[in-house]
Amino acid sequence: MPRRERRKSETGYLHLIVRGNSKQILFEEEEDYKFFIKRMGKCCRDAEIRISAYCLMENHVHMLINDPHDVVGTMMSRLGTSYAQYFNRKYDRSGHVFQGRYLSEPIDSDVYLLTVFRYILNNPQKAGICPTAQYRWSSYKAFFREKAPLDLGFVKEWLRTDDAYREYIGRENKDECLEYDQTENADAKALELIRECLGVSNGFELQKWEKAKRDGALRILKERGLSVRKIERLTGIGKSIVQRA
> Using one digit for the tens of pLDDT, what is the confidence trace for 20-52?
987 888 999 999 999 999 999 999 999 999 999
Residue 242 has pLDDT above 90, yes or no: no
12 in Cβ contact with 52 (< 8 Å): no
pLDDT band for 3, please (50, 70, 90 cuts).
Answer: very low
Q: What is the mean pLDDT of residues 92-114?
A: 89
Q: Is the dihedral of CA 151, 157, 162, 168 positive or negative?
A: negative
Task: Mark whether 39 and 157 lie in a shared domain.
Answer: yes
Residue 155 sits in the same domain as residue 213: no
pLDDT of residue 208: 84
Of the three residues 136, 170, 204, the one that is the final residue of a domain is 170
Do the domain assignments include residue 81? Answer: yes
8-state DSSP, 138 = B
One domain, residues 142 and 80 = yes
7 in any annotated domain: no
Asked whether residue 147 is assigned to any structural domain, the reply reads: yes
Sorting pLDDT into bands at 50, 70 and 90, what band is 244? confident
How far from 153 is each of 66, 120, 158, 191, CA to CA, in Å? 11, 17, 9, 43
Tell the burial category of 38 from Cβ atoms under 10 Å away from its Cβ (0-12, 13-18, 19+). Answer: exposed
Task: Report CA Rg, the chain.
Answer: 21
Instruction: Confirm whether 106 is domain-assigned.
Output: yes
Task: Please give the mean pLDDT across all residues of the chain.
Answer: 87
Domain co-membership, 145 together with 206: no
| Per-residue pLDDT at 136 | 96
Same domain, 162 and 229: no
Segment 140-157 shows an average pLDDT of 90
Q: How confident is the model at residue 183 (pLDDT cuts 50, 70, 90)?
A: low
Domain end residue (candidates: 170, 194, 221): 170
173-200 mean pLDDT: 74
Domain identity same for 102 and 205: no
Query: Of 113, 126, 130, 7, nearest to 53 (Cα)?
Result: 113
Range of the domain at 49: 13-170
Report the pLDDT value the prediction gives residue 6, as an integer from 0 to 100. Answer: 59
User: What's the domain count of the chain?
Assistant: 2
**C-alpha span between 230 and 190 (Å, rounded):** 8
133 Cβ contact list (under 8 Å, min separation 6): 140, 141, 166, 169, 170
Is residue 125's pLDDT more than 80? yes
* Residues 65 and 184 placed together within one structural domain of the fold: no
Whether residues 101 and 146 share a domain: the answer is yes
CB 72 within 8 A of CB 51: no
User: Are 60 and 144 in the same domain?
Assistant: yes
